[in-house]
Chains A and B, each alone.
Chain A
Amino acid sequence: MDEKKYQSKYSRVGQRYDRKDAREKVTGQAVYTYDLELPGMLHARCLLSPYARARIVSIDTSKAKALPGVRAVLTGEDSDILVGLYMQDKRVLSKGETRYQGDVVAAVAAEDEETAERAISLLEVVYEPLVPVHDIDEALEGKILVHEDINDLKHYEGVFFPQKDSNIASWNKSKKGDLDKAFDESDLVVENEFSLPAVAHVPMETHVAIVQADPFSNKIKIWSSAQSPFTIRQIMADSFGISESDVEVHIPYVGGGFGGKAGIHLEPLATLLSKAAGGLPVKVRATREQEFNQLPTRAGMRGRIKTGVTKDGKLTGIKAVYDWDSGAYADYAVNVGKTAVYSGLGPYAVDNASIDSKTIYTNKVFSTAYRGFGHLETHWTIERQMDILSQKLGIDPYEFRMKNLLEPGFETMSGEVITESSGSPKDCLTAVVKEIGWTGRKTEEERQREWKTGKVRGKGFAMLQKAPAMPANTASSVIMQMNGDGHVKLMIGAVDFGQGAITALAQIAAQELDIPIEHIEISAEIDTRSSPYDWNTVASKLIFMAGNAVIKASREMLRKMKEVAAQALRTEPENLMHANGEVYHRHNPGRRLSYKDIALGYMYPNGTGIGGPLISSGSSIADGLTNLHPETGQGNPAAVWTFGAHAVEIEVDVETGYIEVLKVASAFDIGQVINEKLVFGQICGGVLQGLGSALLEGYKFNKDVQLLNPSFTDNKIPTMKDMPVEIVPIYIENPQLNGPYGARGVGEHPMISIPSAIGNAVYDALGINFHVLPLSPEAIALGIASGKKSILCTDVDCLPGLH
């Protein structure tokens, strides 16, 4: 966006500051975990299971152990440690059976990487390959259990619901109204199925952790490229049977996360290796191939949806069944599944509905949170379905949505009441539809005419919503201390892995304290020894939660400052105001003190001091959230909804199937822009990731459930050539009254519903409804060639007409 366009009513909040971490990042000074070297540090390598499911018959480690420079060789025989975020289902080292072709069968720590690699090649393992669980349907049959011990797995009870003797890690449900009656009374009932494959997060810095486990105590020091230092500490404590305070987690700069570095990943393995190597620090770093085939993905998903409408376009009922292919472990995927039961119908008001969401184990690469988790997937289902309904009703898709979108007074799926402070889905949709110049769908004649030119244009749009998916008691905290020069040190526990959080939080503090943002000292580097607690850096909740904590800390700082200044200026604190780094008397502004005069305590001319160093803190905890009812899914899961909409214009080459994205207009009701430059960055980045899911990306497995494309050669992510010709961000600012300056989160949202908008535009262009992602040139070309109007699968095998 043009810098002139957005105007903030505040002097610092809303302004386009450069990010605070930028200088270090453009000069090569920024230090990532990948860059760290510690004295005596060893390097690790892992042997991964070559089979999706196999029995480990024997492992001979003798040759590897005998190699000079090797300091530790571990297999599943050496440790029974289990980890898991919500389900304790993952062995750090496989024993007995492997569950995907990335399971760690053995690990080596050696003095250098080459030696570690050689040692891995000297391991002799005998496997007995077993028949794997290939997909959701096989998993639901339950003939083979990915986890034989599912009935005994320790899990987060009351929130997740593993099903006995099955492959269902959690079955979450929600329902309201009378769905049967609603369908009976509908003028039209439409059933459809949509699906999308697993995709990778692709942080440019692969997962990496260094651990030093003190051999003389329980103390474990961790340096990790991770989003969630406090979660790592908690899970390490749970898994290793030690106290949280025994675990020290340092987070240097993080080279991208997108959810893939939430939770815990390589830290437990590095811990076991460090212990085995006598306490030397051990670095475990995923190669790019391991990032694809060992570290978790976004789950593949299948959505089945049945929707009833009246002939004038009012939704009467929706039944949705979401099945998530979680792969070998549950990790965050059970929470992804849970999110679907309260947010899986999009921002629509419907009185009768049910959602069943099952997170299902298979023998694929396991899955976790990925930017806006669950939402891109469920919105692919709901927003394509909305478009198809409007096609069948013969109603304009904009009009159809406007009849059904949430408004103040309406209830969400879980029964939360939307208020004026919740933001407006309708404002977002109206803004993008206007921006894209929507005048209604193409007629078949118009399509035919354009078809002859070889290129057909289409427009489409889609709604989106997301609230942070987080525990009902999620909390954040910050500490603030004033330095002798009147600058302020702001300590946080949330991680800035590129989204710009430290800059935005500094702006909020600078606004409150009325000092230049350059006077706020804040670091992206987190250390659980000295950083205050923050649950996790996920869910677009950072600015909302930590931002509110910064406001509280700032106000406490000002109160304390004014108490000291009042004594020094011989007045009451109530008489004091603050501006431009000074405290002054409201009636006699000449009576004033600079912040630096009181920062470390005020000193009278005779040397006597009062007050002492100024320090303050702020905490925030999610307000009024509840767990959801296990059967009905009713409750308050959403601290803050952010609604949005995308509209796109595309051009399809009918010969090659290539889609060029001409324009993306994206509107979000974010309440208040904190930094326009950073929001724009989130929108550009999120939109392009969404286009990756829409057009390019997807895991491909062979019949033995081995990943076929674990590299950038075969698992493309968008490059600069895949950028849309034009991106128009639109900021809607209906304030959230309990948000910092009215702000809502927007980190994840730009990615959601990009595939849906593209899918809808493809229909506008071609008159074909695609039900599966990605909409690659191959998929589009095959779809066109098949002559069908609904494409449920784009594998050549699914389109027999082509042979």
Chain B
Amino acid sequence: MDNSKDCSMYTEHIESGKRKVTLNLTVNGRQVVRDVDPSMTLLHFLRDNLKLFGTKEACGEGECGACTIIMDGNAVTSCIILAVEAEGAQITTVEGLAKDGKLSILQEEYIKADALQCGFCTPGFLMSTRALLDHNPNPTDEEITEALSGNLCRCTGYLPILNAVKSTVERERKELDR
């Protein structure tokens, strides 16, 4: 991740006695401008400010991957990133996966492979998978396992998830060939 951003690029001001920073970013293709508390996490920004409740918190310390989103092409755990770090970023959340009223291949394959049970970890898995396949459209089983081993799931035993990712790879490849 790009850590080179310095404080001077944020415009800080005081609003009702509280420090606020004006934040510009793109979320699921939509331009967003909001005043935020500089100590707010990106996860809370997405949920509390933008009301995008698909992204979940399950540990709050970057250990479980439930809050994974894609920021500038990389899968990141939004619970340990400050909202202000996303200044100027392109963000995709689970709500941004389906396009034009149609589920993405990835979502369809998760359903077909029964890669979810309670569903609480599912948005995080979908985003980690998306980021992996965007970087590496033909991952090996080991690469998939490596990329998804930061996401915890207590229900599925992971095998259906692995199957879903593999069938997504196949279908996306066919789609590209067409």
Q: Measuring CB to CB, which residues of chain A are less than 8 angstroms from any residue of chain B?
A: 18-19, 21-32, 34-35, 201-206, 253-258, 287-288, 497-500, 677-678, 680-681, 683-689, 711-713, 717-721, 723, 727
Contact = CB atoms under 8 A, between A and B. Distances in A.
B45 interface: no
A27 B103 contact: yes
Contacts of B158: 684, 688, 718-720, 723
B119 interface: yes
A720 B148 contact: yes
A498 B158 CA distance: 14
B103 A254 contact: no
Given A287-B60, A711-B63, A25 B122 contact: yes
B55 A721 contact: no
B9 to A, nearest CB: 26
Contacts of B150: 719
Interface of B: 52-61, 63-64, 66, 93-95, 97-98, 103, 107, 110-112, 114, 116-123, 126, 144-146, 148-162
Nearest to B93: A28
Contacts of B121: 204
Contact of B154 (A26, A256, A287): A256
Contacts of B120: 32, 203-205, 255-256
Contacts of A31: 53
Contacts of A30: 119
Would you call the interface of chain A mostly helix, strand, loop, or mixed? loop
Q: Which of B57, B58, B60 has the most chain A CB atoms closer than 10 A to its own CB?
A: B58
Given A19-B116, A680-B160, A723-B145, 6 more contacts: A18-B112, A28-B94, A205-B118, A713-B61, A720-B145, A723-B157
A26 B149 contact: no
Nearest to A112: B48
Contacts of B93: 28
B145 A28 contact: no
A28 B95 CA distance: 6
B61 A204 contact: no
Contacts of B146: 721
Contact of A723 (B54, B114, B159): B159
Contact of A22 (B116, B149, B159): B116
A19 B156 CA distance: 13
A685 B155 contact: yes
12 contacts: A18-B114, A22-B116, A22-B119, A26-B119, A28-B55, A288-B58, A288-B60, A680-B160, A684-B158, A712-B59, A719-B152, A723-B158
A450 to B, nearest CB: 25
Contacts of B56: 32, 34, 204-205, 255
Contact of B155 (A253, A256, A713, A719): A256
In the A-B complex, list the 5 residue pairs whose CB atoms are closest, starting with the nearest: A28-B54, A498-B118, A255-B120, A25-B119, A684-B157
Contacts of B114: 18-19, 22, 677-678, 680-681
Given A288-B60, A720-B148, A204 B153 contact: yes
Contacts of B153: 204
B162 to A, nearest CB: 7
Contact of A27 (B107, B148, B162): B107
A717 B154 contact: yes
A204 B64 contact: yes
Nearest to B150: A719
A288 B56 CA distance: 13
Nearest to B164: A26
A68 to B, nearest CB: 12
A723 B142 CA distance: 12
A717 B162 CA distance: 18
A712 B117 contact: no
A255 B95 contact: no
B118 A712 contact: no
Contacts of B118: 203-205, 253-257, 497-498
Contacts of A288: 58-61, 63-64
A795 B6 CA distance: 49
Given A27-B95, A27-B97, A712-B63, A684 B152 contact: no
A776 to B, nearest CB: 18
Contacts of B145: 720-721, 723
Given A28-B94, A28-B95, A685 B116 contact: no
B159 A29 contact: no
A258 B154 contact: yes
A590 to B, nearest CB: 40
B111 A35 contact: no
A26 B110 CA distance: 8
Contacts of A18: 111-112, 114
Nearest to B96: A28
Q: Which of A31, A711, A719, A720 has the most chain B CB atoms closer than 10 A to its own CB?
A: A720
Contacts of B111: 18-19, 22-23, 26
A472 B166 CA distance: 46
A185 to B, nearest CB: 45
A684 B159 CA distance: 7
Contacts of A720: 144-145, 148-149, 151, 158, 161-162
